[in-house]
Amino acid sequence: MRAWCCKCKQDSCSCSIPSIKIGGQKKHRALRLMNQATTIIIIFLLLSPAVFAGTGTETMQFLKIKPSARATSLGDSFVSIANDASATFYNPAGLAQLDNMEISLMHMAYIAETSYEFGTIVLPAGDKLRIGAYIIFLNYGSVVKTTEDSSGIFSGNSGSYTPYDLSAAVSMGYRLSGNFNVGFNIKMALSSIDDKSLNGIMGDAGVLWKVTDEISVGGILYNIGGVMQNGDASPLTGKLGVSTKLSLMEENDLTAGVGFNYVNASAKLSESIGAEYCFRDMFSVRAGYGIGSDADGINIGAGLKQDLGGMTGTLDYNFSMLGDLGSAHRISIGLKFGQDNRSKVKSSGAKKKSVNTGIRNYYRGNK
């Protein structure tokens, strides 16, 4: 690029302000953003052992359960993708990527005949701000009460009770720059067993950086600052993910990523890999594998996406193998209101390419 004066806006002048090279300026800015993101990642990794030091007594373990069929199939790398309504749970920084109102519901047939329900909504609130909310309900079914005599021997039944876990959160995602987003959750969690209950308030904090149009990096700390009435702590967890888009049959039709998960209570780090192939932006197949994970091994899934006229519908399924705990089935449905801007840009680009090709062929044929 030619030298350019930032004051006179000319290619050459006699003012005292030194000229700069535009290409060099862009390169310097990209390097600066890369250094900032690298610093954030390094700090996250270095502080993790200190912040999450040692084992301890934690409760509210249901907050670790993954509430999305699509995201579960992709593993922990989804914290760097987070491009649908489930970002309210996985990484609220990803909400800043969403341009339209979205809602999503999930039902999971979980272990030991328990059921898990999840619902979330996302709303735009300006050019850079997105807000959302979600609710989780885990039902353990009916449990029979038993009684015993003075010697501790079973003496009969005395009715039943229904234990459950509940969590609700308010989410915010904000775009600091064109490619760097931050997000926060404030949530309440409640566990109820018969006439006893436990509750607490905690938060999540996440970041997401689009290194390029194809590569993303994301990180989040879950359940920060939660202390229950009995002194137990919330299940503090940290995740870091890196993902990239690749092109097989179509442009960016394959997403692949790696993720890292650190659990405070066990001071244990596990890894996961995941991939999603999307055919014609309609049908998707997914697979993920947890490395060093006790209860999140093999994940497979599929999804459908359909234009419903003014909105887009999604249907996703996931099958998870949970080791000694058995398996789980997740089904998610979602609605995105308004036109999918990404599809619009893609089709627009394809049309432009076709026009340019025709012009080139015209002149080629008249030479």
Residue 225 has pLDDT above 70, yes or no: yes
Distance CA 113, CA 77 (A): 29
Q: What integer best gives the mean pLDDT of the chain?
A: 81
Vertex 80 angle, CA 318 and 338, to 5°: 75
pLDDT band at 262; cut points 50, 70, 90? very high
pTM, 2 dp = 0.77
Residue pair 260/293 in contact by the 8 Å Cβ criterion: no
So what's the pLDDT on residue 352?
39
Q: What is the DSSP string of 252-273?
A: T-EEEEEEEEEETTTTEEEEEE
Residue with tokens 């996406």: 305
The tokens of 164 are what?
A: 């459950």
**pLDDT, tens only, 277-323:** 999 999 999 999 998 776 678 999 999 999 998 899 999 999 998 87
Closest CA to 269 of 110, 90, 52, 103: 52
Contacts of residue 4, Cβ cutoff 8 Å, sequence gap at least 6: 10, 11, 19, 20, 21, 22
So what's the pLDDT on residue 266?
80
So what's the pLDDT on residue 339?
72
**pLDDT, tens only, 85-140:** 999 999 999 999 999 999 999 999 988 779 999 999 999 999 999 999 999 999 99
Distance CA 145, CA 142 (A): 10
Distance CA 136, CA 121 (A): 13
